[in-house]
Each structure stands twice: as structure tokens, then as C-alpha cells.
């Protein structure tokens, strides 16, 4: 591959310091996270709550200031930009939120909501803004009369369509979608994923798709990254991750997802204990306190992401034994 | 012969007073649970699952919500059967926490932040079972151990905020079990939890349910969770049960188009890749849930139903016997 990735994250680290004069501990939200998203591809960030997904997503747009590391968007280092340059660069990206209810103003019509960003970007004249807003509504398959109505008149799924339309109207190249279907009912989740997939392919969008649910990302993602306590455990093409998961955490996560399959007496492996606090993560492999395969050496050094297959990497010191099928 | 049910709901209709008008959140609801059985109530948000469980517990919001008609016959630990729909607030309070244990989605609904976990579990033991302070405190520690809380004596002295979400939910389960209830009502008890913690709590609930031979009404929007925990399932849509039957039977051969559509919408691990390669969209149910204030004529699912015909809009279909212990509220169930 010769083309440079559209998004390139290297050594990204974020430690949240306690507010001035308060005692609290430093929260190690993300540690040394590196990955790439080729132009026009979708990469999924998956992990349980507190694993650092939102912090990574927000760091990409520099909505949080990283403690260390770089974020290159189309070759431009986001962490080095002046305020003006940052505004310019950010106009190429959009963030879609989980909660379609909280993110839409109740006092504005859908048309006003869709045109607000265009006005801030200085899109003139008004007719152009109206046309782009209406095109965005059509793209998310909402009726044209939605333009003059208010958010409360729409269902959860429709509001998420409005959230997507608002992002699309700005013609972004990169979209960070942060749990965009987590608040929706299952039949509506599939509608929204189909829509996002369709738009992404049609418009050639580059996307970072965040979800706590491994089952939801398979269809839309080209590559999936599994996070635990702020670190990447495994990264693989979607089809590989589900067919041949390597990391003990990925395997546990897949096994924990209940499926409505008749007669399936769950041979599931239930992880013991709680997720440790990111203020005080375990030494060595952060997963070792719950890992069914942990050995003494796991408490030593942090395991590196090793290549275990084609574009497939896993951070476990027992990779070789797992690959040989000696342990599972 | 099925054993005499412990809970038997007939023709329940629960309404909310909104803008001077009664809106039915639950209609024509029939549901029974045998001793030791787990029945899941499943459906998308707003389908009336929580209103059904609040009706049973006598916890509908005062003034706004009320049971308009129907019976909720419940047999308590003493063997006496009462109609909960007719009982006054004081009698219902005696049943709740004693004969019926409750677990909610948000553990803090049940836990008081200013008392220690131990004190809160001991309280119903003193009130309902008349044990001494000392005895109840010892029982509380034992219950915490039963629900898998490590170092239970120390945890009993802690406040809810000192526990993780999963541990708090374990503590509310301990509280619900304190008086050895005949029925446990759990309303989305794992929805707020991470999936690995959800697996722990489901395992725990199945274990305590089997050990105690307790009946359970398990409310959830998650069909996968239903498969894990329940013997029978009732699927709700727009305030009505549209299909009910043994879980394996319903999931293998759904006899209602809504159940069928819902099952198809659940993403199956490892299957999306093939769809993606073929350029096939994920299966969905078109449209969205209708407003209860403005339900369509006839079958409420008709506007979204791929099987709908003119006859569907005539009258609300009855819940009919579809064999194998299944009931379906669809006039075309035989063609599914
Ligand atoms: N502004 C903040 N201040 C302090 N801690 C934070 C802040 N934002 C996030 N965190 C902490 O960082 C960790 C990762 O959070 P987040 O990125 O939101 O995870 P996720 O999106 O995977 O649930 C969590 O422990 C969270 O509490
Ligand atoms: N406090 C309330 N006031 C008015 N209407 C309510 C109230 N609680 C519930 N409802 C109505 O009852 C319907 C069913 O709600 P609920 O049983 O909570 O749904 P769910 O299946 O998600 O648990 C809701 O769509 C709403 O219209
Ligand atoms: S490194 Fe050790 S603790 Fe971490 S996943 Fe591998 S076996 Fe488990
Ligand atoms: Mg998040
Ligand atoms: Mg509910």
C-alpha cells in the first residue's frame, strides 16, 4: 500500500489530571494507542465502558488535548495546529453522538439545525445552505417536510438520522461516530447501520466507528480494534476477528454476548471480577487480573502488539501457545 | 397438568391520564407464571414491559397511572392468594420485599446512598421477618456472600457508592432475596452493565432462582438475554402480548411477524461478513413503533408488517393457540 492513511494515530496517550487543588488520582484513560485508517475505510473501536473509546475519538478531533502522541489527519498533525488552523482542519471532520435526544436543540427547526454548521463555515448564500440541508435530509431518507419541524416530533431512530444529516451537510471527509446506535432499539439499530454503510460507501467517507457492542460493528467495519483499560488488545480485519479471535479478552467478550439461538446451552466462559480502575491499572498486561490464561510473567512487561496473521495483531505474551491451539 | 400458577394476570389494562384522556399502556394482558418458572417479558422500548411489572408491584405513578381493569392473582409464601389489582397501598407494601422481591435496571433505584449496604439488606429482614438487629445483620452478610460479593463482612459496612456497578447490582439482588420471596421481578437488571458483568449477573440470577425454586418475571429488551435466562417468553408490542410460548419454540418457529422480524434484526456474530460481501443490507423492521395515543386500527403491527392484508386492519387479532404451547396475535400465523 503506497497511499498514506487518511487518519494515523501514533502513541496516543491521555492522562486526566485531577482538577487543581482536588486530591483525586490521575486517570490513565488511554495508553500508547497506535492505528491507521485508510481513506474510505471504516475502523471500529470496541471495548467495555471506560476502555477509552470516547477519549480516542475526541482526541482525533483534538476536542481533548492528548498527553502524548500524534494524530495525523491527511498528513496534518492535529496536535501542532494553531487555533485558526485547527478550525480549518476540523471542518473536514464531524462527530456523531450517541444520544440523538441530547444533541438536538428543542428550539430550532430541523432546517435551522442542519444549516447552523454551514453558516459557521461561511457557506453563502442562504439558498446554498438550504439546498445542502435538504440534500442531507434526502440522503438520510427523511421526508422533505422534516425541514420545518422540531426534533421532539421525531422518534429516536429518526433523530439519529437527523444527527447524521447534520454531519453530512458539512461534507466531511472523516466521521467519528461515537456509539451512534447504542440508544436505539434493535430493529432501528440495523436501519441506521445500513444507512451509515450505504452513505460511507457512496461518499467514500473515512470513519471511526465506536461501540461497546462487538455484534454491532461487524457489518460496518473493515477493521476492528478491541480495547481494554485504555490499551489495544487486538486489531484485525472484521472477518478475521470474528472467525479467528486470538486475544483472551476478545474471546471472552465474544463469548459473553448472549444470542437468541434456540437450544444453545451457553458454554460460555464468564470472566470473574470487575474491570480494574484506570486510575490504578494492573502492571504488565492490564487484562491479567481477569484473564483465564494469565501466568506469572503477565505481571511483568506490557505485552506488545505482535503480528499473528495477515493484518492481524494481538497483545498477549502467550500468542504462540494460543496460535498452536495449546491453550484456549 | 401444569402446577397452579403463582402469578396469574387476566385481561389487564393499565392506563395513564394524559391531557385529560386515558391512554392504555397495557391492554388485554394475560400472563401466568408457575412456581420455580422464569418468564421473560421482551419488547422494544415503550412496549409496556415496565408498566406491566409496575402494575404487579403496585408501583404505578400515583394520580397519573392506574389499573383500569383486570385481575392479578398472586399466591404468597403463606399460600394465600390475593388479587393485587384490588389491594390497597398498605397491603401491597407488606407483599413487596417480602413475598415479591424486586431488582431494577439502576441499582440506585433500590439503594439509599446514606445507609450502608448491610443496613439496607437487614432492614426488610427485621420488618418482614421480625428478626433482631444482630440476627438480621448476620443474615445480611450471609446474603452478600450468597450473591458472590467477596469479603462480605467488610462490604456490608460500606456505602453503595463504594461499590462498582456490578457489585451494587449484586447487593440489590441480595436485598431482593432477603425475605426469601416466592417471586422475583427483575426489570432490565443487566441493561446498564458491561457485557462481561451482565454474564456474571445472569449466571447469578439463574443460580439463586434454581437454588430457591423461586419464580421469576424477567423484563428485558434483549432477546439474547431471554435465551439465556427464561423458560417461557412473552413478546410485547404497543402494549399487548403478540406472542408467547416456550423460549426455544418461539425462537425456532416464531408465529408472529413481529417476533420474526425482531429475531432477524439481532446481529449474529460472524454472520455480517457474508452479508457485507454480498452487498446485502442487514435485516430490519421498516418504520417505527406507533404512538400509544394514536394506534392504527386493527393489528397495531400492521403498518410495519410484511404479511399485512386488508383484514388485519379490521379488528385487534385475538391471542390464539398456535400449537406447541405457543399463542399468537396474528391472523396469518399459520402462513409464517
Ligand atoms: N474529562 C475527564 N476527566 C477525568 N476522567 C475522564 C474524563 N473523560 C474520561 N475520563 C475517564 O477516562 C476513562 C476512559 O473514558 P472514555 O474514553 O469515556 O471511555 P469509553 O468511551 O470507552 O467508555 C474512564 O475511566 C473515564 O472515567
Ligand atoms: N409515568 C408515565 N406517564 C405517562 N405515560 C407513561 C408513564 N410511564 C409509561 N408511560 C407510557 O407507557 C408506555 C410503556 O412504557 P414502559 O412500560 O415503561 O415501556 P418499556 O416496555 O420500555 O418498559 C410508554 O410508551 C409511555 O407512553
Ligand atoms: S498477556 Fe497474559 S493476562 Fe494478558 S491476555 Fe495474554 S494470557 Fe491473559
Ligand atoms: Mg464512550
Ligand atoms: Mg422499561
Residue B118 falls within a domain, yes or no?
A: yes
Ligand positioned closest to the Cα atom of A98: 4
pLDDT at A150: 94
Name which residue sits closest to atom 23 of ligand 2, judged by CA: B50
The C-alpha cell 409464601 sits at B77
Rounded distance, CA B195 to CA B190, Å? Answer: 8
Q: What SS3 class is residue A132?
A: helix
Over residues A13-49, the pLDDT tens digits come to 999 998 877 788 999 999 999 999 999 999 999 999 9
Cell of A295: 501466568
Residue B20 falls within a domain, yes or no?
A: no
CB distance A49 to A227 below 8 Å: no
Residue B173 falls within a domain, yes or no?
A: yes
- The distance of A41 to chain B (nearest Cα, Å) reads 14
Domain carrying residue B121: 106-178
Closest-CA residue to A93 (of A207, A218, A219): A207
Q: Does any ligand 1 atom lie closer than 6 A to the CB of residue A310? A: no
Per-residue pLDDT band for A268 (boundaries 50, 70, 90) equals confident
Name the stretches of chain B with pLDDT < 50: none
Over residues B184-202, the pLDDT tens digits come to 999 999 999 999 999 999 9
Domain ranges of chain A: 7-221, 245-328
Burial readout A147-183 (b: 16 or more C-beta within 10 A, e: otherwise): beebbeebbbbbbbbbbbbbbbbbbbbbbbbbbbbeb
Residue B225 falls within a domain, yes or no?
A: no
Name which residue sits closest to atom 24 of ligand 2, judged by CA: B46
Number of other residues whose CB lies within 10 A of the CB of residue A326? 9
- Average pLDDT of chain B, as a whole number: 95
Q: Does any ligand 3 atom lie closer than 6 A to the CB of residue A286? A: no
Q: Does any ligand 2 atom lie closer than 6 A to the CB of residue B74? A: no
The number of distinct structural domains making up chain B is 1
CB distance B182 to B215 below 8 Å: yes
Over residues A84-121, the pLDDT tens digits come to 999 999 999 999 988 777 888 899 999 999 999 999 98
Q: Write the secondary structure of B201-230 as one string of H (helix), E (strand) and C (coil).
A: HHHHHHHHHHHHCCEEEEEECCHHHHHHHC
Name which residue sits closest to atom 4 of ligand 1, judged by CA: A16
Q: Which of A50, A99, A217, A225 to mutate to test the pocket of ligand 1 (most atoms within 8 A of CB)?
A: A50
Q: Which CATH superfamily is domain A7-221 in?
A: P-loop containing nucleotide triphosphate hydrolases (3.40.50.300)
Over residues B39-68, the pLDDT tens digits come to 999 999 999 999 999 999 999 999 999 999
Looking at chain B, which residue has its C-alpha nearest residue A250? B196
User: Ligand 4 centre and the CA of A53: distance in Å?
Assistant: 6
Paired residues of A77 in beta bridges: A72
The C-alpha cell 502492571 sits at A283
Dihedral sign, Cα of residue A274, residue A279, residue A280, residue A283: positive
User: Ligand 3 centre and the CA of A311: distance in Å?
Assistant: 20
Q: What is the pTM of this model?
A: 0.94
pLDDT at A267: 67
Dmax (CA) of chain B: 68
The C-alpha cell 456509539 sits at A179
Q: Does any ligand 2 atom lie closer than 6 A to the CB of residue B292? A: yes
Probe site for chain A from B164, B193, B199 (most A CB atoms < 10 A): B199
* Parallel/antiparallel/unpaired status of strands B320-321 and B327-328: antiparallel
A77-116 residues touching B, CB cutoff 8 A = none
Q: Which of B15, B16, B240, B294 to mutate to test the pocket of ligand 2 (most atoms within 8 A of CB)?
A: B16
Which residues on B lie below 8 Å from A274 (Cβ)?
164, 166-167, 197
B194:A252 CB<8 A: no
A258:B266 CB<8 A: no
B261:A187 CB<8 A: yes
Rounded distance, CA B229 to CA B38, Å? Answer: 7
Over residues A194-230, the pLDDT tens digits come to 999 999 999 999 999 999 999 999 999 999 999 999 9
Q: What SS3 class is residue B6?
A: coil
Residue B159 falls within a domain, yes or no?
A: yes
Which residues on A lie below 8 Å from B252 (Cβ)?
262-263
User: What is chain B's percent helix, strand, coil content, to nearest 5?
Assistant: 40, 25, 40
Residue B203 falls within a domain, yes or no?
A: no
Amino acid at each position: 500500500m503506497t497511499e498514506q492513511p487518511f487518519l494515523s494515530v501514533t502513541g496516543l496517550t491521555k492522562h486526566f489530571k485531577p482538577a487543581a487543588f482536588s486530591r483525586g488520582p490521575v486517570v490513565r484513560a488511554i495508553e500508547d494507542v497506535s492505528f491507521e485508517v485508510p481513506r474510505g475505510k471504516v475502523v471500529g473501536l470496541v471495548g467495555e465502558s471506560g476502555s477509552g473509546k470516547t477519549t480516542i475519538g475526541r482526541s482525533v478531533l483534538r476536542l481533548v488535548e492528548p498527553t502524548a502522541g500524534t494524530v495525523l489527519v491527511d498528513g496534518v498533525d492535529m496536535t501542532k495546529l494553531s487555533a485558526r488552523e485547527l478550525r480549518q482542519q476540523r471542518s473536514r471532520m464531524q462527530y456523531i453522538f450517541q444520544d440523538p435526544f441530547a444533541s438536538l436543540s428543542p428550539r430550532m427547526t430541523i432546517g435551522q439545525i442542519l444549516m447552523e454548521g454551514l453558516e459557521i463555515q461561511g457557506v453563502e448564500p442562504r439558498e446554498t445552505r438550504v439546498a445542502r440541508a435538504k440534500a442531507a435530509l434526502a440522503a438520510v431518507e427523511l421526508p422533505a417536510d422534516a425541514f420545518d419541524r422540531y426534533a421532539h416530533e421525531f422518534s429516536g431512530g429518526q433523530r439519529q438520522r437527523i444527527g447524521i444529516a447534520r454531519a453530512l451537510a458539512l461534507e466531511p471527509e472523516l466521521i467519528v461516530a461515537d456509539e451512534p446506535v447504542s440508544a436505539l432499539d434493535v430493529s432501528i439499530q440495523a436501519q441506521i447501520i445500513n444507512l451509515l454503510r450505504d452513505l460511507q460507501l457512496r461518499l467514500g467517507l473515512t470513519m471511526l466507528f465506536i461501540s461497546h457492542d462487538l455484534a454491532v460493528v461487524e457489518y460496518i467495519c473493515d477493521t476492528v480494534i478491541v480495547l481494554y483499560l485504555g490499551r489495544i488488545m487486538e486489531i484485525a480485519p472484521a472477518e478475521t476477528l470474528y472467525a479467528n479471535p486470538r486475544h483472551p479478552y476478545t474471546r471472552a467478550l465474544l463469548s459473553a454476548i448472549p444470542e437468541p439461538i434456540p437450544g444453545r446451552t451457553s458454554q460460555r466462559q464468564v470472566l470473574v471480577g470487575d474491570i480494574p480502575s484506570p486510575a490504578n491499572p494492573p502492571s504488565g498486561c492490564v487484562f491479567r487480573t481477569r484473564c483465564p490464561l494469565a501466568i506469572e510473567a503477565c505481571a511483568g512487561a506490557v505485552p506488545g502488539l505482535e503480528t499473528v496473521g495477515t493484518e492481524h495483531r494481538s497483545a498477549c505474551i502467550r500468542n504462540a501457545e494460543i496460535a498452536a491451539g495449546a491453550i484456549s | 397438568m401444569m402446577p397452579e400458577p403463582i402469578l396469574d394476570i387476566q385481561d389487564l389494562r393499565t392506563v395513564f391520564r394524559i391531557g385529560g384522556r386515558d391512554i392504555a399502556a397495557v391492554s388485554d394482558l394475560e400472563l401466568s407464571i408457575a412456581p420455580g418458572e422464569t418468564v421473560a417479558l421482551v419488547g422494544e422500548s415503550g412496549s409496556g414491559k415496565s408498566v406491566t411489572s409496575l402494575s404487579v408491584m403496585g408501583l404505578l405513578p400515583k394520580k397519573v397511572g392506574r389499573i383500569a381493569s383486570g385481575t392479578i392473582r398472586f399466591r404468597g409464601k403463606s399460600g394465600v392468594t390475593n388479587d393485587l389489582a384490588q389491594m390497597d397501598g398498605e397491603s401491597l407494601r407488606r407483599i413487596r420485599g417480602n413475598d415479591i422481591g424486586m431488582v431494577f435496571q439502576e441499582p440506585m433505584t433500590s439503594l439509599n446512598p446514606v445507609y450502608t449496604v448491610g443496613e439496607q439488606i437487614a432492614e426488610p429482614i427485621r420488618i418482614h421477618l421480625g428478626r433482631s438487629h444482630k440476627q438480621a445483620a448476620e443474615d445480611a452478610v450471609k446474603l452478600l456472600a450468597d450473591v458472590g460479593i467477596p469479603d462480605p463482612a467488610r462490604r456490608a459496612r460500606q456505602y453503595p457508592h463504594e461499590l462498582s456497578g456490578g457489585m451494587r447490582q449484586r447487593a440489590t439482588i441480595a436485598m431482593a432475596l432477603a425475605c426469601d420471596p416466592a417471586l422475583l421481578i427483575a426489570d432490565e437488571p443487566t441493561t446498564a452493565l458491561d457485557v462481561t458483568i451482565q454474564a456474571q449477573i445472569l449466571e447469578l440470577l439463574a443460580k439463586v432462582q434454581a437454588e430457591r425454586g423461586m419464580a421469576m418475571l424477567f423484563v428485558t429488551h434483549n432477546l439474547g438475554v431471554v435465551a439465556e435466562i427464561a423458560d417461557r417468553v412473552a413478546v410485547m408490542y404497543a402494549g399487548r402480548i403478540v406472542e408467547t410460548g416456550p423460549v426455544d419454540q418461539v425462537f425456532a418457529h416464531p408465529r408472529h411477524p413481529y417476533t420474526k422480524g425482531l429475531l432477524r434484526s439481532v446481529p449474529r456474530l460472524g454472520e455480517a461478513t457474508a452479508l457485507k460481501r454480498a452487498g446485502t443490507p442487514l435485516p430490519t423492521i421498516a418504520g417505527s413503533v406507533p404512538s400509544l395515543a394514536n394506534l392504527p386500527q386493527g393489528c397495531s403491527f400492521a403498518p410495519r408488517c410484511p404479511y399485512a392484508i386488508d383484514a388485519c386492519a379490521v379488528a385487534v387479532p385475538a391471542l390464539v393457540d398456535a400449537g406447541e404451547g405457543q399463542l399468537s396475535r396474528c391472523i396469518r400465523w399459520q402462513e409464517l
